[in-house]
Amino acid sequence: MKKLIVMMGGQGVGKGTFSNMLVDKYGYRHVETGAMLRSAPADSEIAKTIARGELVSDDMLFGLVADSIGDGDVILDGFPRTISQAKWLIENFADKFDVRVIYLEISQELMIERINKRIREGGGRQDDADTAAVQRRLKTFWDITVPAIDWLRTVSNIKFSVVHPTDSDVNRNFAMVVDALQD
């Protein structure tokens, strides 16, 4: 059965890094919803919503995600973010894919440290340097996304794994992600 790997976690946990490493190692397709949304024209409703630090509506996302998943092994990075999105994903894809959720769990302090490191190294998101935007994104993660993660833990027809990528060696952290996918 085709695999649908769902990378979840707060900002700076390594969702994009590990997704790209899985693409390189196994050839999965990487669907990064955040990048799709951030590439929207600046005057679009999507761009305005993101600039306010808010989540894009489910109606806008469901169509984008469904079209992006397609057939074959895929990694979803940045979706779902809410309980309703998690339920939609399971209702629409759990019977077609071997769904594997990888929750990359680190402390908020480490998230902020990694975001600051991205800024120092010239990478990351455009709004990483905006402290208020980062704080809104973190609050949204804790208040809205963590309940979705907790709900996904209870779903019986998927595999849910928690990985703690706290090692400074990205390859050791990646090995933990690969191990979680093997179970």
- Higher per-residue pLDDT: 18 or 57: 18
Helix (H) or strand (E) holding 21: helix 15-26
pLDDT at 177 over 80: yes
Predicted confidence at residue 183, as pLDDT, reads: 66
Rounded to two decimals, what is the model's pTM?
A: 0.88
Q: Which residues contact 152 (CB under 8 A, 6 or more apart)?
A: 6, 8, 86, 90, 101, 103, 158, 160
Helix ranges restricted to H, 79-160? 83-93, 108-120, 131-140, 146-153
Predicted confidence at residue 153, as pLDDT, reads: 97
Predicted confidence at residue 129, as pLDDT, reads: 75
pLDDT tens, residue by residue, 74-84: 999 989 999 99
pLDDT tens, residue by residue, 99-157: 999 999 999 999 998 888 888 887 777 777 778 888 888 999 999 999 999 999 999 99
pLDDT tens, residue by residue, 45-65: 888 887 887 878 898 889 889
Predicted confidence at residue 55, as pLDDT, reads: 74
Q: What percent of the chain has pLDDT over 90?
A: 62
Helix (H) or strand (E) holding 76: strand 74-77
Predicted confidence at residue 35, as pLDDT, reads: 83
Amino acid at 59: D
Predicted confidence at residue 116, as pLDDT, reads: 85
pLDDT, mean over the chain: 90
pLDDT at 162 over 70: yes
19 and 4 Cβ atoms separated by less than 8 Å? no
